[in-house]
Amino acid sequence: MKASSASRWRGTFALDGGGALINQGIHTVDLLLWLLGDVVRVQARTGTLLHKIEAEDTAAAILEFSSGALGILHATTAAYPGYPRRVEISGTEGTVILEHDRIVAANLRTRAAAEPAALDENQSASSAAVTDFRGHQAVLEDFLQAIQQNRVPACDGLEGRRSIALVEAIYRAAKTPDRVATV
């Protein structure tokens, strides 16, 4: 089979489910929902700016979380390659910046003192002191253990459905005149 025919399904809605958002952005969606909770409303735009595909290669969304927090999500396969996936979270207790699931900057206030908390520069998102972000390996290991132990995995199908529901809401919002959808 030719490489071109083997990849014709990529970037299609029917066979791939969409483009950059469902394929690459979904991992950031998972992380945002896990860290910040449910999203109730989105405003979004999508476009096919570089690649010759049916689906989007760029998506941008404003997320309104049930807590009242706001987030911005940008997913693209049209950017120059080699730059890290970046997540920035700022709130009343500080700011944390992750690149490729590694903490690269943090300015946190501790509850005990009004000074920024210290952060070990070698500490990453997979450090024991922080939630483990070793990616697919940890999820698959937990899934196998859940089967062996007859228990629900840490990340079950319902969690996946939450992420898919948000991605679908972003796609819906991008198609509406006011660019807004509820989740």
What structural domains and CATH numbers belong to the chain? Answer: 3-80+131-182 (3.30.360.10)
CA distances from 174 to 42, 57, 161 (A): 9, 13, 20
Q: Is the pLDDT of residue 54 over 60?
A: yes
Distance between CA atoms of 71 and 94, rounded to whole angstroms? 15
168 phi/psi in degrees, rounded to 5: -65, -40
Local structure of 159: helix, strand or coil:
helix
Distance between CA atoms of 165 and 169, rounded to whole angstroms? 6
Q: Is the pLDDT of residue 10 over 60?
A: yes
Mean pLDDT in residue range 144-153: 95
Q: What is the pLDDT of residue 113?
A: 45
Mean pLDDT (the chain) is: 85
Q: What is the pLDDT of residue 126?
A: 36
58-76 pLDDT, tens digit each = 999 999 999 999 999 999 9
**pTM: predicted TM-score of the whole model, two decimal places:** 0.79
Distance between CA atoms of 116 and 162, rounded to whole angstroms? 34
Q: What is the pLDDT of residue 123?
A: 45
Q: What is the pLDDT of residue 129?
A: 40
88-99 pLDDT, tens digit each = 999 999 999 999
pLDDT band, very low/low/confident/very high, at 155 (cuts 50, 70, 90): confident
Mean pLDDT in residue range 36-49: 97
Q: What is the pLDDT of residue 130?
A: 41
104-145 pLDDT, tens digit each = 999 998 754 445 555 554 444 333 344 444 567 888 899 999
Reported in sequence order, the residue ranges of the chain that DSSP labels E, i.e. its strands, are 39-47, 58-65, 70-76, 86-91, 94-99, 102-109, 116-117, 180-182
Q: Is the pLDDT of residue 36 over 90?
A: yes
Percent of the chain with pLDDT over 90: 67
